[in-house]
Structure 1
Amino acid sequence: MLRVENLNVHYGGIHALRGITLDVEEGKIISLIGANGAGKSTTLRAIMGLEKPSKGKIIYNGKDITGKQTKEIVKSNLVLVPEGRRVFTNLSVIENLILGSYIRNDAKEIQKDLDWVFELFPILKSRQEQKAGTMSGGEQQMLAVGRALMTKPKLLMMDEPSLGLAPLIVKNIIEIIKKINQEGVTILLIEQNAKASLEISDYAYVLETGEVFMEGKGMDLLNNEEVKKAYLGT
């Protein structure tokens, strides 16, 4: 579904990505783990057209999308939930969600997906008229995910969805990610809670200083002694 080949990104004199190669198989949950500054977010931003690669290719559903504009990538049903939520704080919950469907014109399907979002996140249904900026961090994260789902993504990329949230909310977010995947949405996930991420991942890549250091099935990496010491605190 998605293949990243030899991806390189420079920030001025900084070589942020150094030949990243990875595959995202349709219907799977794929995780990127690694320390801060390893290149995880830069990888997602480059896929999304928010960073310009200096070398390499990004192939999505058989088409080369390297260097394409972000709005064109979104239209191909590839969507990013950015780190830090980035909801429209002065708009209501329902306005944020409707904005997520701005590229669509299938009213009946939009309503169907809105109902699905409310099923996943009942709190959003009860807070439809509330300004997003007055919600808690966990509620804003739910809104950010819901807004992304309103684009009807085939591949949903998520950057640190549990960052700064209470453990109970983190558990809820992880369960929601599993439910979204079970509905047929492929997931490419960056998650600070490496243990939780690997537990639900079909496959994962470990990034270090802009390179793929290790890769394998989620459970295999979860039980890898090197990964345990470096990222799982054991």
Structure 2
Amino acid sequence: MLKIRDLNVHYGGIHALKGISIDVPENKIVTLIGANGAGKSTTLRSIIGLVKSSSGSIEYNGKEIANKRTKNIVSNGIVLVPEGRRVFPNLTVEENLTLGAYIRKDKKAIKEDMEWVYELFPRLKERLWQKAGTMSGGEQQMLAVARALMTKPKLLMMDEPSLGLAPLIVKDIFDIIKEIHRQGVTILLIEQNAKAALEVADYGYVLETGSIVLQGEGMELLSNDEVQKAYLGE
């Protein structure tokens, strides 16, 4: 589905991504783990067109999308849930979800997807008319994911979905990630909670200062001594 080959990104004089290559097969969960500043968010921002790559290739379903317009990339089925949630605080839950479907014209299907989202997130249905800015961090994260789903993504990219959330809420978020995947959405996940990410991932990549230093199946990386020492505190 998504193939990244030899991708390089520079910020001014900083070489943020150093020739990384990543595969995200259809119907899989792939995770990128690594410390702050490793290049994880830059990778997602490059895929969605928010950061220009210096060289390399990003192919989605056989078509080159590197440095294309973000709107066109989203229209093709790739959506990013950004770090820090970024909900519209002065709009209600329903208004945030409606904005998620802004590129769609199929009103009947939008209504059906709204009901699907409320089944996934019953808490949001209870808060239809609540302004997003008055919700808890966990509820805002659920809203950010639900809003992205309203775009009808084929590939859902998530940047630190558990950041700053209580452990119980983190469990809820990962349960929802597994359910979204079960319903046919491919997921590319960035997480500092390496244990939680690798437990749900089919495949994982470890990024360090812009380079991939390890890769393998999720459970394989979870039991890797280097990964345990560096990211799991063991």
TM-score range, shorter chain: over 0.9
Aligned partners of 1:20 and 1:83: how far apart in 2? 21
Which residue of structure 1 aligns with residue 206 of structure 2? 206
Alpha-carbon separation, structure 2, partners of 1:111 and 1:47: 29
Q: Which amino acid is the alignment partner of residue 122 of structure 2? A: P
Aligned to 1:168: 168
Q: Which residue of 2 aligns with 1:75?
A: 75
Report the counterpart of residue 103 of structure 1 in structure 2: 103
Q: Counterpart in 1 of 2:233? A: 233
1:106-154 CA distances to partner (integer Å, 9 max, x unpaired)? 1111111111110111110010100000001000000000000000000
Looking at structure 1, the residues matched to 34 and 79 of structure 2 have their Cα atoms a distance apart, in angstroms, of 22
User: Once the two structures are aligned, what percentage of the paired residues are identical?
Assistant: 71
Pairwise CA distance, 1:209: 0.5
Alignment of 1:1-234 (within 5 A): 1-234=1-234
Q: CA deviation at 1:231?
A: 0.5
Deviation of 1:68 after TM superposition, in Å, equals 0.3
User: Which amino acid counterpart does residue 116 of structure 1 have in structure 2?
Assistant: W
Q: TM-score, normalised by structure 1?
A: 0.99
Give the ranges of 4+ consecutive aligned residues of structure 1 lying more than 6 Å apart after TM superposition.
none
One-letter amino acid matched to 1:157: M
Q: Partner of 1:83: helix, strand, or coil?
A: coil
1:193 Cα offset (Å)? 0.9
| Partner Cα distance (1:165, 1:201) in 2 | 20
Deviations 1:161-201 (A, max 9, x none): 00000000000000000000000000000012100100010
SS where residue 164 of structure 2 aligns? coil
- CA–CA distance in structure 1, aligned partners of residues 20 and 140 of structure 2: 31
**For the residues of structure 2 that align with 1:130 and 1:94, how far apart are their CA atoms?**
8
TM-score by length of 2: 0.99
Separation in 1 of the partners of 2:139 and 2:200?
22
Q: Give the match's secondary structure for 2:88.
A: coil
Separation of aligned partners in 2, 1:200 and 1:66: 28
Cα distance in structure 1, aligned partners of 2:17 and 2:66: 15
Where 2:23 maps in the other structure, the secondary structure is strand
1:25 Cα deviation after fit: 0.3
| Cα shift readout 1:76-105 (whole Å, capped 9, x = no counterpart) | 010000000000001000000000001001
Distance 2:48 2:109 in 1: 25
User: Deviation digits for residues 50-83 of structure 1, max 9, x if unmatched?
Assistant: 0000011100011000110100000001000000
